[in-house]
Amino acid sequence: MDEVSFHLSQCLDSLQIIFSNLVHSGKLVLQNVREHTHVLLVQLQNCLPASYIQTFNTFLQSLLHGIYQLKQNINASFYFYRGPFVLADTFNRTNAISATLGLVFGTGIGLVIGLCMQYPCAPVSSMKAIGCMNLSGIEDITLDDTLVPCILYSDQILVKVYAGSIDAVDIRIASGYASTLRRLLTKHNHNAKTHVPVVLGRDCAGVVVEVGSAVSKFDIGDEVWSAVPSYCQGALAEFVVLKEDLVSKKPKTLSFEESVSLAYSGSLAWDVVFHKANLNTSNAESKKILIHCGSTGVGCILIQLCRLLDTHITVTCLSRAVQVMLGFGASYCIPLETPDLEEQLIKQRSRYDIVFNCRAGPDAHELCLQLCSKQGKVVTAVPPRLASDSMGFLLGMFYSVYVNVFYVLLGRTSWDHVHFSYSILDQISNLVDSGHIKPVVGNIFKPQDHQKAFHIVDSNQAIGKTVINFAR
């Protein structure tokens, strides 16, 4: 027994040294984080209201004080409980049994508390979802089985998806777009254990199958549609959980496939026309508008919105789409296959008041700038590059603090260049049902044909939207 006590004492001495080193290292890390956080707060002070600054300062001080108190308590507890074992004066079988029973009993209590505090969830079942694991491009996109998400908050809705569309931004997401922001926000999404695999798809149309206790606008069985930001998990799945303020009742006159072709693209088009370009019925009449690559999903809707404002519309589009563009209200169409297209556009004497660019990339943007009048503007109708995707370690640490502070403390929920909302979908739905906006569905695929669908979108040869139809 003395030999056992001696070896046990040696083990505990080693653990004490390791524990002390860990505490010391942790203290240095906390001090370093505190210094960097202080610098960040000084920078934020110029752009935040005084009330927010005061609230955050109080929160940070309480947090640091709590960490310090926890460290002190751990140190005190360690030395208090260490004494009898190291000295081995009172070590016997009774103490060993008591310690073991205490460990088992404490673990049991902790397990019970953890089970009681876990988020309530519906019975586990699986569904099909289109997503990617390694963020390495189109070839990484697969159709896999995953768990059906469940309602975790009172303002959420569970939707059975009948159709979802593929947007060009989904291909960028499959290659890493918005991955940093999504990883940070996934920590607060208990339906997603990690930020990968990423479910693709920026919109969906389907039927409500369950509602949270605070949901007031929807009932089970309602036909709805939704558009979600690029930093969120997507909607190309058989079921999706959505916040109520991202959901609207779909247009009554359209099918699920037709509706979903307008949700995300329509939200982008609405934002660039009425918010970024700041057009309205009083200032838009007779303005000269160019829509570059107008046969895309967002381009087809831009033409129809600009027509409602009585503007003069010129469109560059695929030659196959010229008649569609003219039917939507374009005054003049220039096929993208035209030889020396850029030179011909630049040589035109007329310049445009507003150029809507529907193609990503610096070359397209530079061309659009050359086609603007001196007082004109270029408005990009595709999601821009995100600075967070190229941050190093130090800037990434600051950005992580920034996101967590604004999400947890200040309740910020929108991080995109577009504020997606049910109100925009409601207005688009009204225009659809009144006959002012029509959908353009280029192709419809089954989920198992997702690779073919994504390659068509990536080819830039699709007219309108490519839709995935989930079996009812």
Tokens standing for 289? 């508008």
Among the ranges given (125-134, 162-171, 356-365), the one the predictor scored with the smallest mean pLDDT: 356-365
Which residues make Cβ contacts (< 8 Å) with residue 397, sequence separation at least 6?
33, 36
Q: Does residue 126 register a pLDDT over 80?
A: yes
State how far the alpha carbon of 28 is from the alpha carbons of 22, 32, 36, 73, 331, in Å. Answer: 10, 6, 13, 18, 67
Torsion region of 135: left, alpha or beta (phi above 0 gives left; psi -120 to 50 gives alpha): left
Q: What is the pLDDT of residues 336-345, one digit of tens each?
A: 999 988 888 8
- Higher-pLDDT residue of 244, 84: 244
Is the peptide bond prior to 197 cis by the omega test (within 30 degrees of 0)?
yes
Identify the pLDDT of residue 438.
97
Which parts of 272-421 fold into alpha helices (H)? 297-308, 322-328, 341-347, 362-370, 393-404
- Higher-pLDDT residue of 5, 138: 138
The pTM of this model reads 0.72
Asked whether 267 and 424 are in contact (CB, 8 A), the reply is: yes
The helix or strand, by DSSP H or E, that contains position 243, with its residue range, turns out to be strand 239-243
Among the ranges given (244-248, 301-305, 413-417), the one the predictor scored with the smallest mean pLDDT: 413-417
- Write the CATH number of the domain with boundaries 280-380: 3.40.50.720
Q: What is the pLDDT of residues 163-207, one digit of tens each?
A: 999 999 999 999 999 888 888 877 666 566 666 789 999 999 999
The share of the chain scoring above pLDDT 70, in percent, equals: 67
d(CA 149, CA 15): 42
Identify the pLDDT of residue 249.
98
State how far the alpha carbon of 83 is from the alpha carbons of 9, 16, 20, 425, in Å. Answer: 10, 11, 16, 67
The confidence band for 84, taking pLDDT boundaries of 50, 70 and 90, is very low
Q: Mean pLDDT over residues 305-324, rounded?
A: 96
Identify the pLDDT of residue 343.
86
Mean pLDDT of the chain: 81
Nearest C-alpha neighbor of 173 from the set 206, 204, 147, 137: 137
Q: What is the dihedral of CA 188, 206, 142, 190, to 10 degrees?
A: 10
Which residues make Cβ contacts (< 8 Å) with residue 272, sequence separation at least 6?
302, 356, 379, 380, 381
Asked whether 179 and 371 are in contact (CB, 8 A), the reply is: no
- Write the CATH number of the domain with boundaries 126-266+396-469: 3.90.180.10
Pairing of strands 352-357, 372-380: parallel
- Residue carrying structure tokens 């202080």: 38
Collapsing DSSP to helix, strand or coil, 317 comes out as strand
> Which DSSP state fits 321?
G
Identify the pLDDT of residue 169.
95
Q: What is the pLDDT of residues 85-118, one digit of tens each?
A: 444 445 455 665 666 666 655 676 665 555 455 4
Collapsing DSSP to helix, strand or coil, 93 comes out as helix
Identify the pLDDT of residue 292.
95
The domain spans of the chain are 2-87, 126-266+396-469, 280-380
Identify the pLDDT of residue 85.
45
Collapsing DSSP to helix, strand or coil, 60 comes out as helix
